[in-house]
């Protein structure tokens, strides 16, 4: 009986597990292997170079810069998206009129790709010419036109990059928060009202937020994981026929050009991917620690 | 006085939400406006909210432009998104059911091996995956674009969580009737689980249609471009016909808006069931 169980288990799980191993574990190990070789234009290199690729990557100011860009971007986009989508959910949850309409409108951008959104932002909203929409609005208030994507001091391009992601993602996280809000027992609010707590800040702080803790942890983890993957909007907003500007280059964009660009330097690219994986693992562990620590006060 | 405050608060909230909703809709409006405008209206020195005339002829122009394989890229995207969705649903649901219901000594280890891959961001594996796919000779093929994306640990996890909560009585009745795991799964479990299939399918379809980095890396040949890669090649080119670009983008989101409006509540249900929280 047990042997029949094992057989059927592998009939069901085997194809999936085999594919996952082939397309995730094998590439990972292969990549670690390649990172110790001089692998220009080839996936079967012969020249072993030890830790040279790692040393070269860590010495490379552009790569270190890309790690800084990624940390800055994460530190910025995560709290902003968290706060904005939570505020949206709280408002949509309490509005009585046309709730389904508002929910749909804020969720609709989730159907757009980063490519499409970047196109609208780059070519129409923030196109940097006087008649662009953002500059037209600035003009109404007497402001001078801004070349949004090529102004590095002050770094206006961050405004463009952050608003694209906010527009695309806020609705999805709003839905997560709405689901969390629906699960809160109304009796808790009634009890608070009996105790004389006025609706508003007090109730939000002492009932709603603690009750949303589980959702919050999930949202924060997803936000950080998604920030790691940032590639699409940077690539589509900032690069043009001449290539990519030297600023605001997240690690993935950097690795894309290193490994698959002119040089096809797969050894160097693999070393960069391994370093990036280690940085991400460190950030994830630190975040998990921090979220668990935050769980001690008032679990409702 | 309290009542007045509450009412003022409600009105303020509604006003704020309406303003935000308009802001959120502006990009959609710009897509359509620019797509159906004359080139001169887009680049006119004065911003106009409503272009002078609507040019439906742009649609024909887009599909007949010989320099852009737009129709081909739409077809590629459709093939990839449908194949990825069906394949993912089949593989991940079988695996999720096996993990949830079939007793096996090492099931726990297998599950953690699968779950562990969720901790490896796809971002980190794109260089090595490219290496693997290129050594298989799958660059610029539909195979290369589809097969490696079929094994979604996320989808498998959602199905496992869902099947753990599936009412056992139904399966027990099937077992008494002498159906094995295989027939129980197809005749009893799948027909009773349509919502979760719809939810995961919608999410996978959206992701497959919108994905960019993998098609960019693997679909190097124009004949293997997806619609996202085609659009991106427009935006990074030196000479761009703006109205064509915007129209192409508007066309590219149409199928998704349809899927989206039909299945919105499944997405919400899927999100709620995904083991988040």
Q: What percentage of residues in chain A have a pLDDT greater than 70?
A: 94
Position A109 pLDDT exceeds 70: yes
Q: What does the mean pLDDT of chain B come to?
A: 84
Q: So what's the pLDDT on residue B45?
A: 64
Angle, CA B152 vertex, CA B69 and CA B271 arms, to 5°: 100
Backbone angles phi, psi at A51, to 5 degrees: -95, 15
Which is nearest to B97 in space by CA: B214, B15, B16, B180? Answer: B180
The minimum CA-CA distance between B69 and chain A, rounded to whole Å, is: 17
DSSP bridge partners of A155? A152
Chain B residues touching A124 at Cβ < 8 A = 30, 34, 42, 246
Which alpha helices (DSSP H) does chain A contain, by range?
Answer: 2-20, 26-34, 52-59, 61-94, 99-107, 114-120, 133-140, 157-182, 186-194, 201-203, 209-211, 213-228, 232-238, 251-260, 266-293
Q: In this structure, what DSSP letter does residue B52 have?
A: S
Contact A221, A286 (CB under 8 A): no
Provide the whole-model pTM.
0.84
Q: So what's the pLDDT on residue A3?
A: 55
Q: So what's the pLDDT on residue B44?
A: 66
Q: Poorest-confidence range of A200-214, B1-15, B173-187?
A: B1-15
Residues 6+ apart with CB under 8 A from B157: B96, B114, B115, B118, B274, B275
Q: Poorest-confidence range of B106-115, B137-146, B205-214, B228-237?
A: B228-237
CA distances from A261 to A40, A195, A258 (A): 11, 65, 6
What ipTM did this prediction achieve?
0.84
- A111 → closest Cβ in B130, B132, B253: B253
Mutation target vs A (from B115, B121, B181; most A CBs, 10 A cutoff):
B121
Q: What percentage of residues in chain B have a pLDDT greater than 90?
A: 28
Contact A265, A259 (CB under 8 A): yes
Position A5 pLDDT exceeds 70: yes
Chain A residues touching B128 at Cβ < 8 A = 27-28, 30-31, 34, 270, 273
How far, rounded to the nearest angstrom, does the alpha carbon of residue A96 sit from its chain's CA centroid?
Answer: 32
**Cα–Cα dist A232/A118, whole Å:** 8
Residue-wise pLDDT for B204-260, tens only, equals 998 899 998 889 889 888 888 999 998 888 776 656 678 888 888 899 999 888 887
Of the pLDDT bands very low, low, confident and very high (cuts 50, 70, 90), residue A299 is: very low
Q: What percentage of residues in chain A have a pLDDT greater than 90?
A: 19
Decide which of B276 and B258 is more confident.
Answer: B258
Position B274 pLDDT exceeds 60: no
Of the pLDDT bands very low, low, confident and very high (cuts 50, 70, 90), residue A252 is: confident
Residues 99-128 in A contacting B (C-alpha not used; CB under 8 Å): 101-102, 104-125
Average pLDDT (B89-93) is 96
Position A211 pLDDT exceeds 80: yes
DSSP B212-260: -HHHHHH--SGGG--HHHHHHHHHTSSS--HHHHHHHHHHHHHHHHHHH
Residue-wise pLDDT for B174-195, tens only, equals 888 888 889 999 989 999 888 8
Q: Poorest-confidence range of A229-238, B75-84, B101-110, B115-124?
A: B115-124
Cβ pairs bridging A and B (under 8 Å): 271
Residues 214-253 in A contacting B (C-alpha not used; CB under 8 Å): 214-215, 218, 222, 225, 228-229, 231-232, 235-236, 239-241, 251-252
Q: So what's the pLDDT on residue A43?
A: 72
Q: So what's the pLDDT on residue A134?
A: 82
Q: Is the CB of B272 inside 8 Å of chain A's CB atoms? A: yes
Position B5 pLDDT exceeds 90: no
DSSP A56-97: HHHH-HHHHHHHHHHHHHHHHHHHHHHHHHHHHHHHHHH--S
Average pLDDT (A17-41) is 88
Helix (H) or strand (E) holding B131: helix B122-135
Position A298 pLDDT exceeds 50: no
**Cα–Cα dist A229/A240, whole Å:** 21
**Cα–Cα dist A284/A277, whole Å:** 10
Q: Poorest-confidence range of A1-10, A202-211, A259-268?
A: A1-10
DSSP A216-239: HHHHHHHHHHHHHT--HHHHHHH-
DSSP bridge partners of A48? A37
Residue-wise pLDDT for A116-148, tens only, equals 998 888 888 887 777 777 887 888 887 777 888
Position B81 pLDDT exceeds 50: yes
Q: So what's the pLDDT on residue B97?
A: 94
CA distances from B81 to A76, A169, A238 (A): 32, 21, 27
Residue of B nearest to A255 (CA): B127
Of the pLDDT bands very low, low, confident and very high (cuts 50, 70, 90), residue B1 is: low
**Cα–Cα dist A250/A234, whole Å:** 8
Phi-psi region of B155 (alpha: psi -120 to 50; beta: other; left: phi over 0): alpha
Of the pLDDT bands very low, low, confident and very high (cuts 50, 70, 90), residue B121 is: low
Q: Do B113 and A17 touch (CB under 8 A)?
A: yes
Of the pLDDT bands very low, low, confident and very high (cuts 50, 70, 90), residue B263 is: confident
| Residue in the structure block whose two tokens are 């690795």 | A255
Chain B residues touching A96 at Cβ < 8 A = 10
Phi-psi region of B55 (alpha: psi -120 to 50; beta: other; left: phi over 0): beta
């Amino acid at each position: 009986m047990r042997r029949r169980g094992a057989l059927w288990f592998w009939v069901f799980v085997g194809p999936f597990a085999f594919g996952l191993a082939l397309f995730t574990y094998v590439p990972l190990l292969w990549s670690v292997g390649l990172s110790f070789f001089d692998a220009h234009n080839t996936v079967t290199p012969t020249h072993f170079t030890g830790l040279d690729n790692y040393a070269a990557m860590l010495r490379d100011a552009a790569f270190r810069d890309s790690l800084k860009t990624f940390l800055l971007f994460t530190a910025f986009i995560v709290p902003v998206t968290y706060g904005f989508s939570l505020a949206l959910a709280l408002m949509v949850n309490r509005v009585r009129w046309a709730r389904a309409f508002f929910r749909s409108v804020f969720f609709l951008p989730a159907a757009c790709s980063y490519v499409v959104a970047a196109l609208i932002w780059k070519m129409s909203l923030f196109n940097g010419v006087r008649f662009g929409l953002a500059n037209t609005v600035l003009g109404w208030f007497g402001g001078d036109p801004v070349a949004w994507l090529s102004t590095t001091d002050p770094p206006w391009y961050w405004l463009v990059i952050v608003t694209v992601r906010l527009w695309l993602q806020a609705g999805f996280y709003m839905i997560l928060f709405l689901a969390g809000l629906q699960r809160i027992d109304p009796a808790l609010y009634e009890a608070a009202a009996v105790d004389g707590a006025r609706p508003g800040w007090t109730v939000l702080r002492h009932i709603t937020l603690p009750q949303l803790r589980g959702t919050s942890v999930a949202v924060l983890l997803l936000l950080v994981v998604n920030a790691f993957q940032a590639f699409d909007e940077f690539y589509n907003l900032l690069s043009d026929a001449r290539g990519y500007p030297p600023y605001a280059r997240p690690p993935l964009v950097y690795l894309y050009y290193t490994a698959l660009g002119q040089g096809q330097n797969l050894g160097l690219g693999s070393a960069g991917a391994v370093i990036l994986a280690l940085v991400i693992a460190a950030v994830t562990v630190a975040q998990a620690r921090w979220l668990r620590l935050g769980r001690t006060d008032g679990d409702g | 006085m309290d009542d007045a405050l509450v009412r003022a608060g409600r009105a303020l909230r509604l006003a704020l939400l309406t303003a935000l909703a308009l802001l959120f809709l502006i990009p959609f409006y710009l897509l359509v406006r620019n797509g159906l405008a004359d080139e001169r209206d887009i680049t006119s020195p004065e911003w106009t909210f409503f272009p002078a005339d609507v040019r439906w002829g742009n649609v024909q122009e887009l599909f007949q432009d010989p320099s852009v394989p737009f129709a081909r890229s739409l077809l590629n995207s459709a093939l990839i998104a449908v194949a990825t969705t069906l394949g993912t649903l089949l593989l991940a649901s079988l695996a999720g059911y096996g993990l949830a219901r079939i007793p096996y000594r090492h099931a726990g280890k297998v599950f953690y091996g699968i779950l562990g891959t969720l901790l490896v961001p796809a971002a980190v594996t794109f260089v090595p995956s490219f290496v693997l796919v290129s050594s298989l000779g799958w660059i610029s093929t539909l195979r290369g674009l589809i097969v490696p994306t079929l094994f979604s640990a996320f989808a498998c996890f959602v199905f496992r969580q869902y099947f753990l909560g599936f009412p056992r009585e139904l399966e027990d009745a099937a077992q008494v009737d002498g159906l094995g795991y295989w027939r129980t799964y197809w005749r009893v479990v799948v027909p009773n689980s349509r919502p979760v299939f719809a939810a995961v399918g919608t999410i996978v379809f959206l992701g497959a249609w919108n994905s960019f980095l993998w098609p960019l890396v693997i679909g190097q040949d124009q004949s293997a471009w997806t619609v996202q890669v085609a659009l991106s090649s427009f935006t990074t080119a030196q000479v761009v016909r703006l109205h064509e670009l915007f129209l192409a983008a508007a066309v590219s989101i149409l199928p998704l808006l349809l899927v989206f409006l039909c299945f919105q509540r499944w997405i919400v249900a899927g999100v709620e069931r995904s083991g988040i929280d």
